[in-house]
Chains A and B, each alone.
Chain A
Amino acid sequence: MTLNNGSKKSGGKIYVVTSGKGGVGKTTTTASLGAALALRGQRTLVVDADIGLRNLDVILGLENRIVFNLVDVAKGHCKPAQAIIKSKKSNNLFLLPASQTDDKDVVSEEEVKSVLDQYRREFHYILVDSPAGIEQGFKNACSGADSALVVTTPEVSAIRDADRVIGLLAAKGIEPHLIINRIDAEMVRKGDMLSVKDVQEILGIDLIGVVERDDQIIVAANYGEPVVYNPKSKAGIAYQNIAGRLCGEMIPIEDVLSDTLWGRLGKRLGIG
Chain B
Amino acid sequence: MDDSIVTAKGTTDGLVLRIDSRVDESGILNGVRSFIESRKKFLFGNEVALEWVGGDPQEGVEPQLKSLLCDEFNMKIRQGALQSEMEFETTSMEDFLPTEESLFSKLDNYDEANAKVLVTTLRSGQKIESEHSIIIFGDVNSGAEVVSGGDVIILGTLRGVAHAGAYDETGGGRVIVGITFQPTQLRIGSTISRGDGKPHKSSGVPELARIDGASIIVEPYSVKTMTGLIRGSV
Spell out A's residues near B (CB within 8 Å): 156, 160-161, 163-164, 166-168, 170, 201-202, 204
Residues A167 and B125 in contact, CB atoms below 8 Å apart: yes
Q: Are B143 and A204 in contact (CB under 8 A)?
A: no
Chain B contact residues: over half helix, strand or loop, or mixed? loop
How many A-B contacts if CB must be within 8 Å?
29
In the complex, which residues of chain A have a beta carbon less than 8 angstroms from the beta carbon of B139? 202, 204
Q: Do A164 and B143 touch (CB < 8 A)?
A: yes
B222 at the interface (CB under 8 A from A): no
Q: Are A202 and B125 interface neighbours, CB within 8 A?
A: no
Beta-carbon contact of A164 and B121 below 8 Å: no
A-B contact pairs, 6 of them (CB 8 A): A163-B141, A163-B142, A164-B123, A167-B125, A202-B141, A202-B142
B121 and A160: CB pair below 8 A? no
Q: Would you call B187 an interface residue if the criterion is a C-beta within 8 Å of the partner chain's C-beta atoms?
A: no
Q: Is B174 an interface residue (CB 8 A)?
A: no
By beta carbon, the residue of chain B nearest A134 is B125
List of B residues within 8 angstroms of A170 by Cβ: 123
The answer to whether B159 and A164 have CB atoms under 8 Å apart is no
> Once the chains bind, are A167 and B124 in contact (CB under 8 Å)?
yes
A161 to B126 CA separation, bound complex (whole angstroms): 12
| Distance, CA A145 to CA B80, complexed state (A) | 71
In the bound complex, CA of A164 to CA of B121 (Å):
11
- With the chains together, A156 CA to B126 CA distance in Å? 18
**Residue from the set B121, B123, B126, B143 with the largest chain A CB neighbour count within 10 Å:** B123
Q: Which residues of A contact B126 (CB under 8 A)?
A: 167
CB-CB nearest 8 A-B residue pairs? A167-B123, A164-B124, A163-B124, A163-B123, A164-B125, A163-B141, A160-B124, A167-B126
A202 touches B159 (CB 8 A): yes
- Taken together as a complex, chains A and B put the C-alpha atoms of A168 and B143 apart, in Å, by 14
A202 to B124, CA, bound (A): 11
**Structural contact, B125 and A204, CB atoms closer than 8 A:** no
Return A74 CB to nearest CB of chain B, in Å: 29
A168–B125 CA distance with the chains assembled, in angstroms:
9
Chain A residues in 8 Å Cβ range of B125: 164, 167-168
Tell whether, in the assembled complex, residue B141 and residue A161 are in contact, meaning their CB atoms are under 8 Å apart: no
Residue of B nearest to A170 (CB): B123
Which of chain B's residues have a CB closer than 8 A to the CB of A161?
124
CA distance A129 to B166 in the complex (A): 42
